Structure 1
Amino acid sequence: MEQVFSKLKGDKWIWIIVIILSGWSLLAVYSSVGTLAYKEGKGTELYLVKHFSIIVAGLVLMYLSHKLDYKWYAGISKLLMIITIPLLLYTLLFGSSVNEASRWVTIPVINQTFQTSDLAKLALITFLARMLSRKQEEIKDVKKSFIPIMGAVCLVFVLIAWANLSTALMLFGVSILLLIIGRVSIKQIAIVSAGGLVLLMMVMLLGPRRATYISRIEGFFKTEEVTTSNVPFQEDKNYQANNAKIAIATGGLFGKGPGNSVQRNVLPHPYSDFIFAIIIEEYGTVGGVVLLFLYLALMYRCIRIVTMSPRAFGAFLAAGLGFSLTIQALANMAVAVGLGPVTGVPLPLVSMGGTSILFTSVALGIILSVSRSIEELKGKQQLEEEPKVKKVVIGTVA
């Protein structure tokens, strides 16, 4: 084990948390894909192998990302934004539509779907980190700083929100947090927030999924009007939320045991959107608390990297990407336990999914790259200080 960790640079605790979450993901996904496998006439082992290969690919991307000096991501962020904007437009116009939402683009030849919002999250956060770090001396200048930053945030928000409002709102929230950390004035942040609110109302009132948004909000606030009978989930606004609550309630303190979930056969997406409910049903409240602790520990390690980073760009990167992952995890858990309307946001590194796991792994690799640079800087400082200490000791003896 020591030989393995000797080759992995950066915060070791982040590596440990990722490995634990990945292993837990294999167990949870294998347990919850039974109904999906039955509907598609495939074996559950096939989904397990596919999910395992994605996790391995994610770990490889994470390793490669952490080996690259994080300063290179400043230039890469510009390229990512140039690619992301047209790709989001293409997705809205020509993407694969599921439930009135065009979120995926089918990659030719390999015939695999690709969710462009995952790339957009990474692109916007790295771009904001670059802009905020380079504009610190003129951060309150409207033309040089405020307009370019606000333009990037609002444009990406609208393009994502049109088909994926929950992801867009979380990304907008992370952007506001970065603006606060980046010493942008409260007045300018208020203007950005007001602009975001106007865009949100436009999407909710004019967007193609306005009926879905209204239905989910009404279902969340009018739970007493929803029956618990066996009504098809297409007709019951709270079908998913109610069955998630049943899974959590029947899980008890220590759960039913791995593979013994009952609600996995009832919930429409137990392997992605509501995997946290299945985990609590099988591993109990204790399992749910442990999983929550892992994400909070991940955020703590990211904050520690922020405070130790000698450069603003590295601090903004670790903060933005760390907040993004943690907020997404908390949002998924909140929906599962009934603290928020259904969103369709996956649980990072745990839910079954291709692009979500891969881009989450890249984000963690970038955070580890910042951590690696801190360790290397400390090592250089120690090497420089050692000769001075020896000289002082020799002089004292003489």
Structure 2
Amino acid sequence: MTSFARTDTSVLGRWWWTVDRWTLLALGILIAFGMILTLAASPAAGGRIGLEGFHLAKRQLVLIPVAAAILIGVSLLSVKWVRRLAVIGFLGSLVMLLVTLAFGTEIKGAVRWISIAGFSLQPSEFVKPTFAITAAWMFAAGKEEEGFPGISISILLYLMVAALLLAQPDLGQTVVITAVWGGQFFLAGLPLLLVAGLAIAAVGGIIGAYFLLPHVAARIDGFLDPQAGDRYQVNRSLEAFSNGGLFGTGPGEGSVKNLLPDSHSDFIFAVAGEEFGALVCLFIVALFAVVVLRSMLRLWGEHSLFVLLAASGLIFQFGLQALINMGSTLHLMPTKGMTLPFISYGGSSLLALALGMGMLLALTRKRGALEEDR
């Protein structure tokens, strides 16, 4: 039973009766799974790099209350303030991308992180949700305000973001942002001729990345040819699912976390498969589906083009990121260093996802016809 009555007109009272509580519950359960799996996988990962057993887990657990506060706090905002927050966040993220290229730390041949007060920040994580909202605003303004060059501005912003990400290089984030932006462009009424042109450009970009970026070529070759490239992590991941079966080996009883360098981040789904089994993994997949499908249902009948485009972009981004991580872990697609939302270790990812899902909950809240928050 909730302590909020339907007649409660306080900020929290109005929020409770207008927010999608099923989506909120699904996100809460995903965060709980993230806490459990971080405790299971992080000690082995920390030990491999000379850290105290639960050092990584403690860092992640400290950020979870912060992420929860961001998610709830942002979900309280009106549509107008979601847009303002996203634009400010997007501009700040662009500045941080430039700073990262100039002063960032190089890890595995890529410059994607910058250290701030001992915290390793990945600005590209914050670009994803804030750019989705900003692009939606430009598309909607271009459609609804005669003479406003919203589409042209959105294209220029996209090219700027893509150029900064490829300079790191970070092809995976570029692909996700491109897919989300392209989907929003299509929903905004992109002509079919331009749809075909973007599709051809996307295929050309992937082919170009294959020939220009050695690590991309290695991952694609390893996916297509079992004898090519380094398949160590993928093979161990598949073995983990085989060992776990339906019900798993039991919490803390898995061995894959001791063998996989990225068991706490990119391959944490394999830890879940081994220790908790296929049934729990299917439940995790169902939680992601609940967030995606419930949010889509909340948009049914939405008359604001901006809300429709912005929320759709955040939904697509969330679902696509989860799909890429789980697909890579199961060897259904080439491996890509991308976190499993709210479950993988990673402070920047956790906070950025909380921001994005908070904005999604705010955009999909029930609003009165006379509410002036657009």
Normalising to structure 2: TM-score of the pair?
A: 0.89
Alignment of 1:1-398 (within 5 A): 2-3=2-3, 8=16, 10-107=19-116, 110-137=117-144, 144-162=149-167, 163-206=169-212, 210-223=213-226, 225=227, 237-372=230-365, 374=366, 376-377=367-368
Moved more, 32-41 or 197-206: 197-206
Aligned-residue CA RMSD in angstroms? Answer: 2.4
Cα distance, 1:93 vs structure 2: 3.2
Question: Secondary structure in 1 aligned to 2:195?
Answer: helix
Cα distance, 1:211 vs structure 2: 1.3
Cα distance, 1:153 vs structure 2: 1.8
Q: Answer whether contact 2:43 2:54 (CA < 8 A) is retained.
A: no
Distance 1:379 1:264 in 2: 54
Question: Secondary structure in 1 aligned to 2:35?
Answer: helix
Gaps of 5+ in 2: 5-11
Cα distance, 1:41 vs structure 2: 4.4
1:266-321 per-position Cα deviation (integer Å, ceiling 9, x unaligned): 01111110011110111111111111111011101110122243322112221110
Q: Answer whether contact 2:240 2:274 (CA < 8 A) is retained.
A: yes
Distance 2:110 2:47 in 1: 25
Distance 1:356 1:176 in 2: 22
Question: Secondary structure in 1 aligned to 2:83?
Answer: helix
Gaps of 5+ in 1: 227-235, 381-398
Look up the match of 1:393.
none
Q: Answer whether contact 1:161 1:169 (CA < 8 A) is retained.
A: no
Distance 1:159 1:201 in 2: 19
Equivalent AA in structure 2 for residue 169 of structure 1: V
Distance 1:102 1:363 in 2: 24
Cα distance, 1:341 vs structure 2: 0.9
Look up the match of 2:8.
none
If each structure's helix is expressed as a fraction of its own residues, which one has the higher value?
Answer: 1
1:299-351 per-position Cα deviation (integer Å, ceiling 9, x unaligned): 01110122243322112221110110110001100001110111010000000
Question: Secondary structure in 2 aligned to 1:338?
Answer: coil
Residue identity over aligned pairs, in percent, reads 24
Cα distance, 1:204 vs structure 2: 4.5
Equivalent AA in structure 2 for residue 161 of structure 1: L
Cα distance, 1:239 vs structure 2: 0.7
Q: Answer whether contact 1:146 1:188 (CA < 8 A) is retained.
A: no
Moved more, 271-280 or 161-170: 161-170
